[in-house]
Amino acid sequence: MTANGEAPRTVSKSAADDQQSTATSVDDGSLGSSRVADPVIESRDLDVYYGDDQALDGIDMTIPERQVTALIGPSGCGKSTFLRSINRMNDLIDIARVDGELSFHGKNVYDEDVDPVALRRKIGMVFQKPNPFPKSIFDNVAYGLRVQDQDENVEQQVRTALERAALLEEVEDQLDSSGLDLSGGQQQRLCIARAIAPDPEVILMDEPASALDPVATSKIEDLVEELAEEYTVVIVTHNMQQAARISDKTAVFLTGGHLVEFDDTDKIFENPESDRVEDYITGKFG
Ligand SMILES: Nc1ncnc2c1ncn2[C@@H]1O[C@H](COP(=O)(O)OP(=O)(O)OP(=O)(O)O)[C@@H](O)[C@H]1O
């Protein structure tokens, strides 16, 4: 047990919606060079409002490359809002407004010359509820490749994405069957395969396992850790043990849209700086 009485980390590590993230082929030259060293995403004094209501207040965060960063905190504290601000999914909410800076490889994604569709190709997203298209398993994964004209070697690309999503073995003989016939956990891995097929750099995940049973959840957790060898992963979770198990960095948001602490996950769970974070982690509130 840790100083806080929590179980220690057991693992450490050396679509309307998805359609939006995989929509069209566009010029993305304005988005900076790819695959450079840390950091990938930086927010500086980021505020987000819905109408007159402020959901995020002055968020400063630096998200490192090829690690898992977990966003935790009580309901309504702004975790999903922050996640959606990274690939401009908040643009789809009429009353949402963003102030401050959110940069991807040093380029503010809110600059006028950034195409949000190109951005979402580099920063894909997976949602809480598995949302496969009513198409075959193969066509689900090929979808983004086809609309982006990236499908010159589609068979291999689909197989690679399914393999990276730890699903290929289970569906190899049924690629023409409907994605909707898979189990919930398989559907979520299919959505992950669909998100990674166009080869993004960052994968945003909004509670990807919260609708799944424990076995399926465990598979998703293993997969998230594996994906971080290739991709930068940012994951919202309500499950603190899950954050402790799978993330390298943890950001704790608390009421009012404040980021109270952001640090190595071990530090957050074993010896946080903030008393409020310690109270939250130890279950005294939230
Ligand atoms: N589309 C929206 N329109 C208006 N207000 C919104 C919208 N989405 C979120 N909000 C508000 O913004 C605040 C932050 O919500 P958000 O969903 O980001 O929090 P969260 O920490 O992800 O919550 P949860 O853990 O319950 O999913 C809340 O007060 C919420 O009511």
Q: Which amino acid, 185?
A: G
Residue 236 lies in a domain: yes
| Structural domain contains residue 129 | yes
Total number of domains in the chain: 1
- pTM here is 0.86
Ligand 1 atom closest to the Cα of residue 236 is: 22
Which atom of ligand 1 is the closest one to the Cα of 73?
A: 21
Q: How far is the CA of 225 from the centre of ligand 1 (A)?
A: 27
Residue 51 within a domain: no
- Whether the CB-CB separation of 120 and 23 falls below 8 Å is answered with yes
ipTM above 0.95, yes or no: yes
User: Stretch 243-247: mean pLDDT, rounded?
Assistant: 96
Atom 12 in ligand 1: residue holding the nearest Cα: 55
Does residue 10 line the site of ligand 1, with CB under 6 A? no
Asked whether the predicted pLDDT for residue 24 surpasses 70, the reply is: no
Tens of pLDDT, residues 71-84: 999 999 999 999 99
**CATH number, domain with residue 72:** 3.40.50.300
**Residue 113 in 3-state DSSP?**
coil
* pLDDT band, residue 284 (cuts 50/70/90): confident
User: Cβ contacts of residue 130 below 8 Å, gap of 6+?
Assistant: 184, 187, 188, 190, 191, 211
* Range of the structural domain that residue 205 is part of: 65-77+118-281
Here the tokens at position 130 are 């598995």
7 lines ligand 1 (CB under 6 A): no
Query: pLDDT category, 38, cuts 50, 70, 90?
Result: low
Does 127 map to a domain? yes
CB-based contacts of 115: which residues, under 8 Å, 6+ apart?
Answer: 26, 27, 28, 30
Is any ligand 1 atom within 6 A of the Cβ of residue 89? Answer: no
Which residue's CA is minimally distant from atom 29 of ligand 1? 76
Q: Is residue 155 part of a domain?
A: yes
Give the model's pLDDT for residue 1.
Answer: 36
78 lines ligand 1 (CB under 6 A): yes
CA of 78 to the centre of ligand 1 (A): 6
- Residue nearest atom 2 in ligand 1 by C-alpha distance: 50
91 is a domain residue: no
Residues near 274 by beta carbon (within 8 Å), at least 6 away in sequence: 252, 260, 261
Is 194 part of any domain?
yes
Q: Is residue 230 part of a domain?
A: yes
How far are the Cα atoms of 73, 204, 239, 251 from residue 285, in angstroms, in the given order?
A: 10, 27, 14, 17
Indicate the pLDDT class of residue 283, thresholds 50, 70 and 90.
Answer: confident
pLDDT of residue 3: 37
